[in-house]
Structure 1
Amino acid sequence: MLTFQIKTHKHGQTYSKPHFYILNKGLNSGKPCRTPIRNSFVVSTETIEQKEALFQLSLMLLESKCYNYYLKGSVIPFIGIHDVKNLLIKNHIHLQQEEVQTKIEAIKKIEVLEKGFQNKLKTIQELKISLLRSCKLER
C-alpha cells in the first residue's frame, strides 16, 4: 500500500522523511522537483522507493498533460492540493504493473543519456564561443 502526505511547502522548512516537491503555480504546474522551490507542494513518504515511485508517477502525469485539466485561474494558472493528491491516489495502481516498471527504468536511462548530451552541447557551445572570440575583429 502506498502511503504519503502532501502539504504546502513553506520556504526554509526542512523535512526528515523522503520527499520531493510538486510545482503548483504557472504553466508547469505539476512538475516534480527534487530540490525545494517556491509555490510548491511537498510529498513525504515512508521509504525512498515510494518517493521514487511517486516522483515518476508525477512526471508521467505531467508529460501526459493530466494536470492541465485541473488548472484554475486566468492570469496565473494553479492547481489545488486536493486535485494533485486525488490524481496520485487514482493513478498509483498503475505503478504495480510490470510493463510500467520497465518503462520507468527505460525513462531513467534516457534521462542519463539526455544529461550527457546536454553536457556535450554545452561544451560545444563554449568551444564555438572561444573560437569566435579568438578572431581579431576591430570595434
Structure 2
Amino acid sequence: MSTFEIKTHRIGKTYTQPHFFILNKGLNSGKPLKNPCPNCFVITTPSEDDKNTLFHLSMMLLINGNYQYYLKGSVIPFIAIKDVKNLIQKNSIWLNEIELQKKIETIKKVEILEISFKNKLKVIHDLKMALLRSCKLEY
C-alpha cells in the first residue's frame, strides 16, 4: 500500500491529488465522504486506485465500529487525527490480501446498486406526491 497524507480540511481549500474526506465530529466520526464538510479531515493519495481502496477501507472500519473506540468528548464526540491515521495504517496491511480486494470490488457493486435503488425510490415518492396533489382535497 502506498503512502497517504491526512490533514485537517480547511473550508475553501482545493486539492489537486486524489482525495476524500473523513468526518471527525459527531457520532458518525470516521465516515468517509466524497464532498467536504466543516468538521472533517482530508486524505490525499498519489493515485486514484489508492484513494478508492482507502475510502472503502475507511467505510469498512466505520461499519465495523472500529472508530467508535477512539471517540473522545462527552457533549460532541470527536476523533483525533492521529487515531484515524494509526487505525488506517494498522489496517492497510490487509489491503494486499486478494480476498479483501474481491470484497472491496463487491462493495463497489453493491454501492452502485444502492444508488440505483435510491433513485427508484425517489421516483416512486415523486409519483406518489403527484397523485396525492391531484386529489384536490379541501383544507
Query: Which range, TM-score by smaller chain?
Result: over 0.9
2:100 is matched with 100
Amino acid at match of 1:98: I
Give the partner amino acid of 2:75: V
Aligned residues: 139
Distance in 1 (alpha carbons) for counterparts of 2:36 and 2:3: 21
Secondary structure at 2:79's aligned position in 1?
Answer: coil
CA distance in 2, matches of 1:84, 1:90: 10
Cα-Cα RMSD: 0.8
Runs of 4+ in structure 1 displaced over 6 angstroms?
none
Matches within 5 A, 1:45-84: 45-84=45-84
1:43 corresponds to: 43
Counterpart Cα distance in 1 of 2:138 and 2:48: 58
Taking the TM superposition and a 5 Å limit, the aligned residue runs for 1:26-41 are: 26-41=26-41
Read off the aligned partner of 2:51 and give its amino acid letter. K
Using the TM superposition, give the Cα deviation of residue 136 of structure 1 relative to its aligned residue in structure 2, in angstroms. Answer: 2.5
In the alignment, the residues of structure 2 paired with residue 30 and residue 112 of structure 1 have an alpha-carbon distance, to the nearest angstrom, of 22
After TM superposition, list the pairs within 5 Å mapping 1:114-125 onto structure 2.
114-125=114-125
Q: Distance in 1 between matches of 2:70 and 2:116?
A: 34
Give 5+ residue unaligned stretches, structure 2.
Answer: none
Could you state the TM-score of these two structures normalised by the residue count of structure 2?
A: 0.97
Between the aligned partners of 2:94 and 2:117, the Cα distance in structure 1 is 31
**In 2, distance between residues paired with 1:12 and 1:137?**
47
